[in-house]
Structures are given as structure tokens and as C-alpha cells.
Structure 1
Amino acid sequence: MLLGLTLKNFTIIEDLSVGLSSGLNIITGETGAGKSVIVDAINIILGDKAPAENIKTGKEEAHIEALFDISKDETIKERLVTSGFDIKSGELLIKRIIYRNSRSRVFINGSLSTLTLLSTITQGLVDIFSQHEHQSLLREENHLKIVDDFGKTGDEASHLRDIYQYYSSIKKELDDLEQSKKDKVEKEDYLKFQLNEIVNAALTIGEDERLGEEKLKLVNAERLESSASSAYEELYEKENSVLGTLQKLSNDFKEIARIDPKLNEVAESIEKGMLQLEEAAFSIRDYTTELSSDSQTLEVIEDRIHLINSLKRKYGDTIEQIIQKRDEIEHEVSNIENFDERVRSLSEESEKLMGELLQLARTLSKTRKQSSKKLSEMLEQELKEVGIKGGKFHIQFNDKVISSSGIDAVSFLFSANPGEDPKPLNRVASGGELSRIMLVLKEVIARVEGGSVIIFDEADSGVGGAIAEAVGQKIRNLSRSYQVICITHLPQVAKFADSHLSVSKTHNDNKTQVTIKNLDENERVVELARMIGGFNITQKTLDTAQEMLKH
């Protein structure tokens, strides 16, 4: 049950609070006063998008807040508990804040939440019947959903849809494989050529860097050898080599150290230096021996670098990427080699799923036909109460190729006159008849699974006189089981209100002010008189209004 709704800076409304009661809440007012804005706000509370255009001119943000009593709604409470919300109070408080320059925010029981979770939690909480919703009856694609709603076959239909989607994915893969079968051999040969090219290269990570360093050394081999040979000669080979000079110094210091032992340390230091330089000289000699400007070795390295660069151009910018490409090709080749096995496996899976789908679809079809018969009978009875006394309503089933919805093509057939065969709604039903058919459909389905709140937004349009009163009676009957909020221009409907709210709009100082008032009995008489005769309220219209409220 919707206890209250608060709007701030929403469209033309600056600040408005609406208190609602159980039973039938009637909302009336002049055209353009802002009645339907209330329904727009409730849709946003239930999870609709909230564009910045809904913010009142001159304001930066709009607030919408709704308070529901969910103490008797076990489904909503279970969803809240599952989502981590406290339900001890038995109330659900939803708040939406719409910003002009940023995304809107959602609050559930005071906690920041998401639009997706809001839509999930509020699903089925409120059932809204808008002014032009009856037009959806003209589209046959909507008829099957109505049948499923009435028959409570939504879970079975959803299960079938899930399996069909999986079947479709299997079938698509199978079709793609069959389509590509003719290209399989050619593609396999090409992939194996690529794979062999990479595998035969026997690449190792970091190899390109090492080869680059080796090439640099070989290209400069002559220069390196010249420098090394010169250093070896200076250190060791020439007549006045560094080591020869140090050897003479060492001998001299050893000799004079006999005279002054303090010089032994100097002699030992020279000896150590000689040993280190000698080791360095031999290392240079060995390096010179190893170093060669062998053109054949350089050619091998350059060929290897060329091969690696060629593979990089084809398969990746780095050796790591080339190796990754090799793994991908190996996997693809493996898939091609397992092509026939995959086709066989998918075919078996496809046949198995189709068998399961057909069984589910036939069972679902049987259930749908049983519930449709009951729905037709109930609708014909209810239509009598809204002035279509000789109406015939038939739900026709035609077989179709299995799809995500099953094997049923459903059409609603209708005849308003006795003796006439029922025909498709879009060929025989008037606008007023469509409104009444949709109304009784709503009532019948609400008995089965309706939300705790039902809203009629001028859904009684297209009718008048005694038919309007019959529609009002039907709406009142519905309010005995559900909270009903009904926006109407018909006094024949408004007279049944348990709570009558009047919306008005005034203009002061270039500002628009929307107010809503809960009318007392005297005010209701005046409001009904206005609805009967317009602004020119006379004693006659007041008497008529007074009389209407007595019956």
C-alpha cells in the first residue's frame, strides 16, 4: 500500500505531499493541473529513468519520495531481506534525487542503492493502467503474455526461454561450423604453415637482444682487436713494457729492503700490482685470441636477426607476442582437427535440447489452453457488468514453429453483438470497448497476481453515461481487495471514492503553484458539480452531484 508521495522541484511542482488511504483513492482536477505528473513520479520511484528535463525550471535538482506499507507483502519483504535491507518497520521508503548535471541517485530505506536493484525489488508492487494502454490489446504479440500472467505460467515460460536461448547458441555454432566446412582444409594448411614457421625458428625470449649485442661486437671486431692488442703489447710484450718496468722496480726494492726492512711493504705492493696487471694482460691476450672478425659468424647472426624481424612483422612486435601467437595457432589447429568431433557433439546436444524444448512447450501449451478457457469465461462475465452484455471473448491458439515463447501463437477474438462470430480485436472493437476489455482484464489478472497497488491513469477514457458508472463500480469492486489510485475526469467514477483528492494549479508572480487537497463531503459535491457542468456551477449541477454521492 502506498502511504504517501512527496515531490520537490519535479516538472511543474515545487513542493507537494500526497497522503493516500486504503480502498479507492480518486484524483481529479482540471486538464493540465498536474494529475498525471503524480503517475510519472510513481513510475520513476519504481525504477524508470529520470531525465534532467523533469527538474523544475530554475532548479538544479528534484526529489521524489514514496512510502509504502509492505507489512503484508511477503514477496517484497523477501527481496529486501535478500538484498540486505532491514524490514522491521514493515515499511519501504524509496527516494530518487534527479540532478541536472549528473546521474540520479537511488535510496532504499535510507541506504544508497542502484536503479537495477530498485527495479528488482519493486517489481509487481504497483500495477499501472495508463490512458492508452488498451491500445496494446491490438498487438497480438502482447496476448500471450496476458495469458501467461493469468495462468501464472511465467516461471515455466521463463525456463523454456532460457533453454531455447542456449539451444540457439548451440545451433548457431553448429551452423557456423557447417558453413565453414568447405574452407576448413585450406585454412588448416595455412595455419600449419604459420605454426611450422614459428616452431622451426625455435625462438627464445631475450634472444633478439643478445644477438644485437653480439652483432655490435662482431661489426667492431677489428677496432676491438686493435685496441686489445695494443694494450697487451704495452703491458707485456714490448721491450719497455709496463710489467717489465715494474719487475725492475720490484727487484730494486727487494734489494734495498735488505738494508731497510720497512721497504718490504713497498716491495710486496709492487709485487701484488704486477700479479694483477699480469692477469689483466693474459685476459686481454685470451680476448684477442677469441675475438675474430669471422665474416661467416657475423653472417649467421645477421641471418638469424633477419628471420626474427620477419616473424615480428607477421606475428607480433616481440618474441613474447610471437610465442603467444604460436599458442593461439596451435589451439585453432587443434579445433580444426577436432572439427568433425565437435560437429557430432553439437548435433547430439542440439537434438537433445530440441526434444526437451518440445516437451516443455507442449506441457506449457496445454496449461495455457486450460487457463485461457477459464480466462475467456471470466472475461465474458465481467464484460456484462461494464455494459457489453452480449459480448463474446475467445482466445484462439494456432501452432507455430517453436521459438523462445513456445509453440503457441495466441490471438484475442471478440464480438460485441450476439450472433456475430468473434473476430480479431483490431477489426471489431471500438476504443470504448477496448478500454473496458482492458479494465476487466486488469481486474481478472489482479485477482490472480496483482500488486498491492493498482493505478488507473484516465483509463476510463472513451466511456460515459451508464457505462462510465459501470466502470466506476468495477474499479470500486477492485479497491475492496487492493489499494486503487484512479485519476479520472468522470463524475460517475469519482463518486465511488473512499478518499477524494483534488489537484489544482495557480499562477502568481510568474510562478506556477500546484496543490492537492483531500476533499470533505461538501467539497466533493462542488468538485463533482464542476466535473458535470464545468466552471459554471449551478444549483442544478450541485443537486445532481449531491444525488450521485448518495448512490
Structure 2
Amino acid sequence: MIKNIKIKNFLTIKNLEINFDKHFNTIVGESGAGKSLILKAISEVFSIKNDTQMVGNFGDSCKISIDFDSNLSKYNFSQRNFTIVKILKKNKSQLFLNDIQLSNKIAQNIKNDIVNIVSQDYRFELFEKDRFLEVLDLFIDPNIIENYKMAFTNFNEAKKTINELKSKIKSIDNAHTEILIELIDKTDPQKDEYDELINKRKQIKQDLALKDFIQQLNALFYEGKNNLYDTIIASFKKINNIESDASLKMQNISNSLNKILDELNTLKPLFEYSKDDEVSIDNIERRLFELENLQRKFGKTINEILDEKQKLSQLIGKKNSMQEQLLEEQDKLQTLKDKLEQAAFQLTSQRKKQADRLIDGVMQSMSDLMLESADFDIVFEKVECSENGQDKITLFFSANKDLPKKELSKIASGGEKSRFILALFEYIGQLSQNTIIFDEIEEGTGGKTLTSIVSKLKNLSLQNQLICITHSLEVQNAADKIFTIEKTFENSNTVTYLCQM
């Protein structure tokens, strides 16, 4: 319910304030006085687009403030009393709800919970998106709606889980985990193997250098041309062939040579070496090449690669576990899908029943409003399940039964549409209980039709707040509160102002 609206510098409105009654309000005035500016101002507050051309000539900015009472718990507001303020400037706008900055999109959604505007110049929100589904749902057992919403939530959570599992499995597949493990296993590195081989190669090279030195000594002592061993043996032969009186000296020489020969015989086994070491270093070089090639491919050390293999193996284990979980979730999803379809079918069935009743009720009310030749239907189309069910609803209307019914929002004239909406609200009014703004609903009517319109407006106002912009004295006289809009000229500017009657 709208309690109050304050408008400053909006088109021709310089400064205006209206305190509405909670039941039946009328806004009256001469044609062109600016009655519809009130409706425009309300619509501008909740509009998705900002029309800065609405700023008047009485300042640099426009301010529209609306105090209202509503249940906005679904937007996480616990209170019921609100003030929404829109400030328009030449180059920007600001929107606040209880001093909290608000987006235009959320404001548009909130509008649907506060006010319905019925006018030839405005699109009627009940015909937009899923709004009429909400009307039908007012008459349905809340448990059926809640059962569907729970089934839809459970189904979507299962779908989300499946998609997440597929995404994670795909991520592991994209990492080519099995290929990398196969590459590592082909080389089969061992922990610390590379460093150990490097050290072993170093040791073998040192050993080979020593062997080379020993070979040189071996050639000098035993195997080379003019080697020491053969020279000593030859010396013994010469000594034996020499006859000398200095036998003691020769004996000493012979003894010394024998000692040298004994030492050479003792050293000779130490100069022996194995050919296996030469083969061994070739194997080490070959193995080091394999390990270094693996390290280049991974850009990591052997020990880091082994750690990586462990992580990759864990990923494969995780992937296998997720694949098992995926199969379980897919089975679960099918069960939840069946439950969702059952809940959707039940919700659709209830909506169709209520739609038939609503058609009968509205048709009867339209007859009272001299639309007895009119025809009205609610057509259901099955669509993909959403949070609102699997139904898309279109309202069809014909002013005369001999003409084919067409989509109501496109073919009905303004007066016919307004009277139809009045008939509709007469049926749903006790359950909707919000603010309804009618813009010249009586236009083009008189006599019994006008009397019926006034009666239905009065009855509707008992449960809903009505704001009627009207030229009709009959509508005006039925109101609880009347506001008269007039205009004047100040300093060459047209000024719209309010006179409460």
C-alpha cells in the first residue's frame, strides 16, 4: 500500500505531496491539468531506464519519494515500512530504498509486489513474463507449490553436482595424467638415482684415470719395450757370464737386483684391471641420458618427478572415485527428474483447474461490465521446467464471440482491457491485496456499465488500495479521498499543483 508520495521538479510539478487513503482514492482535474503525471512519477521510480528529460524547469534535479507498506521478505527485508527515493539529474540518477542504494532491476521486481498500473499508456505487468502464474498460484494449495519448488531445487542441485563432477574429470583428462604416468614408468626412475649415478660416474672416471697411470707404470715395469723387469732378467744373464775377481761386489749387485725383482713381482698383481669398468660407464652414461631427457620434459628433478607421479596417481584414483560417484549421481538425477515431472504435472493440473474457475468468474464479471459478447481464455504451453513450473501462460481475448480470440495484450482496446482487468481483479482482489492504479477506466462508458464499474471498484477497494485517475463524477463520489490536480503559470512556466477536496 502506498501511503505517501512526494514529487519535486518533475516535468511541470514543482512541489507536490499526496497522502493516500488505504482504500479508494481518486485523482481528478481538467484535461491537461497533469493528473497522469502522478502515474508517470510512480512509474518512473520503478523504471529500469532513467529518463532524465523528466527533470523540470525548477531546479537541476528531480526527486520522487514514495512511502509504502509491503511484505518484501523474499528480498531479505524483515520490515514492512519502506521509503523509496529516486533522484534524477541531467546526467545521472540515484535510487534508494530505506537509504540503501538500489538497482533499477531490483526496483522493477519490487514494483510487482507493490503496485499494478492499468492504463492505455502503460504495459500491464500481469501480462508480462510469469506474473499471471503468480495469480493462479494464489488459489493453489501452498504445499503443492512448495513440493514442486523442492523437487526443482533438488533436481538442479543434482545437475549442478553432475556438472561439477564432469568438469573435474575433464580437468584431470586435460592434464593427460595417464600419458604422463606412462612416460615416467617407461623410464622408471628411482629416488636419488640421478645423483647416485653422477657420483658413481665421477668415481669411475677417477678410477679410470688411476688405471691409466697404472698402465703407464705397467708398461714401464713389465710390458713396454725395454721394461724394467725384462732388463733386470737380462742383467742376471750378463752377471752370470762375467768372470770377475770382485765377486763380492757382483754378489751385492745380484742381491740388489733380486730384491728389485721381488718387489716387481709383488707389485705386478696390483697393476691388473678389469674391462668391466669400461662397460659400466657406458651404461651409466646411457642411463643418465634417459633420466636427463625425462627431466627436460617435465622441467623437474627426478625426485620431483617421482613426487609428481604420486600426485598424478592420486588424481587417477580421485578420477576413478568421481566416475563412480558420477554414475550414482546420474541414477539419482533420473529419480529426481521423475519426481520433478510428477510435481510439475500436479502443479499444472491444479493451475488448469484454477484457470477454468477464473475464466468462469471473470466471464461473469465481464458480463456485468457490458462485455457479455466478449470471450476470454487462458492457454497453457508446456515449456522446460523453471522455478515457476513447466507452464507458459498466454491470455486470449475477443470483444465479440464471432471474432477469433487473440493475445489480449496485443488486440484489446484500452477500455476493454481496463474493464477486463477490473473483472480479473474482482476475482483475485481478496488474495492479491496490493495497490492498483486505474487510469480513466470509465472512459467511453456510461449508464449501467459505468454504474457496474463504480460498484466493482468500491468492492475491490475494501481489500485493495485503489488510485483512480478519472473524469467521472460517479467514480469520484465513490472515493474515500479525492485529490484535485490543477495547473497555473508562474514566470512563464506551467506549474501543476494539488488541491485536496
1:148 corresponds in structure 2 to 136
1:106 corresponds in structure 2 to 96
2:460 corresponds in structure 1 to 478
Give the TM-score taking structure 1 as reference length.
0.56
1:445 corresponds in structure 2 to 428
Alignment partners' CA distance in 1, 2:26 and 2:353: 37
Label 1:146 to 1:339 Cα distance change in 2 as closer, same or farther (>3 A): closer
Cα distance per residue 1:417-460 (max 9 Å; x no partner)? 57x69845559855543332122112322222221x22123455
1:193 and 2:179 are equivalent in the alignment? yes
1:511 and 2:493 are equivalent in the alignment? yes
1:26 and 2:7 are equivalent in the alignment? no
- 1:256-335 to structure 2, matched below 5 A, reads 311=298, 333-334=316-317
Matched residue SS, 1:124: helix
Computing the radius of gyration from Cα coordinates, the structure with the larger value is 2
Label 1:170 to 1:431 Cα distance change in 2 as closer, same or farther (>3 A): same
Label 1:309 to 1:493 Cα distance change in 2 as closer, same or farther (>3 A): farther
Cα distance per residue 1:490-541 (max 9 Å; x no partner)? 55544544333232344433434221222x4xxxxxxxxxxxxxxxxxxxxx
2:248 corresponds in structure 1 to none
2:355 corresponds in structure 1 to 372
Alignment partners' CA distance in 2, 1:101 and 1:413: 42
Label 1:324 to 1:366 Cα distance change in 2 as closer, same or farther (>3 A): farther
Alignment partners' CA distance in 2, 1:499 and 1:125: 20
Cα distance per residue 1:257-290 (max 9 Å; x no partner)? xxxxxxxxxxxxxxxxxxxxxxxxxxxxxxxxxx
Alignment partners' CA distance in 1, 2:306 and 2:429: 64
Alignment partners' CA distance in 1, 2:97 and 2:384: 43
Asked whether the 8 Å contact 1:28–1:502 carries over to 2, the reply is yes
Unmatched runs of 5 consecutive residues or more in structure 2: 190-286
**Counterpart pick for 1:356 among 335, 339, 348:** 339
Alignment partners' CA distance in 2, 1:439 and 1:455: 11
Label 1:92 to 1:333 Cα distance change in 2 as closer, same or farther (>3 A): same
- The residue identity in structure 2 corresponding to 1:485 is I
Q: Which moved more, 1:58-67 or 1:148-157?
A: 148-157
Unmatched runs of 5 consecutive residues or more in structure 1: 203-299, 316-321, 521-551
Give the TM-score taking structure 2 as reference length.
0.61
Alignment partners' CA distance in 1, 2:485 and 2:130: 34
Asked whether the 8 Å contact 2:140–2:351 carries over to 1, the reply is no
Q: When the two structures are aligned, how many residues end up with a matched partner?
A: 406
RMSD: 5.4
1:388 corresponds in structure 2 to 371
1:7 corresponds in structure 2 to 7
- The residue identity in structure 1 corresponding to 2:25 is N
- The residue identity in structure 1 corresponding to 2:24 is L
1:536 corresponds in structure 2 to none
Label 1:198 to 1:130 Cα distance change in 2 as closer, same or farther (>3 A): farther
**Counterpart pick for 1:127 among 113, 116, 135:** 116
Q: Which moved more, 1:8-17 or 1:124-133?
A: 124-133
Deviation at 1:349, TM superposition (A): 1.9
Deviation at 1:48, TM superposition (A): 5.6
Asked whether the 8 Å contact 2:96–2:102 carries over to 1, the reply is yes
Matched residue SS, 1:151: coil
Alignment partners' CA distance in 2, 1:128 and 1:371: 24
Alignment partners' CA distance in 2, 1:469 and 1:342: 68
1:226 corresponds in structure 2 to none
Alignment partners' CA distance in 2, 1:50 and 1:27: 25
Percentage of pairs with the same residue = 25
Asked whether the 8 Å contact 1:5–1:65 carries over to 2, the reply is yes
1:160 and 2:148 are equivalent in the alignment? yes
Alignment partners' CA distance in 2, 1:147 and 1:347: 36
Asked whether the 8 Å contact 1:473–1:493 carries over to 2, the reply is no
Label 1:48 to 1:157 Cα distance change in 2 as closer, same or farther (>3 A): farther
1:524 corresponds in structure 2 to none
- The residue identity in structure 2 corresponding to 1:471 is I
- The residue identity in structure 1 corresponding to 2:116 is D
Matched residue SS, 1:389: coil
- The residue identity in structure 1 corresponding to 2:347 is L
Q: Which moved more, 1:9-18 or 1:464-473?
A: 464-473
Label 1:415 to 1:105 Cα distance change in 2 as closer, same or farther (>3 A): closer
Q: Which moved more, 1:464-473 or 1:369-378?
A: 464-473
- The residue identity in structure 1 corresponding to 2:136 is D
- The residue identity in structure 2 corresponding to 1:192 is E
Matched residue SS, 1:443: helix
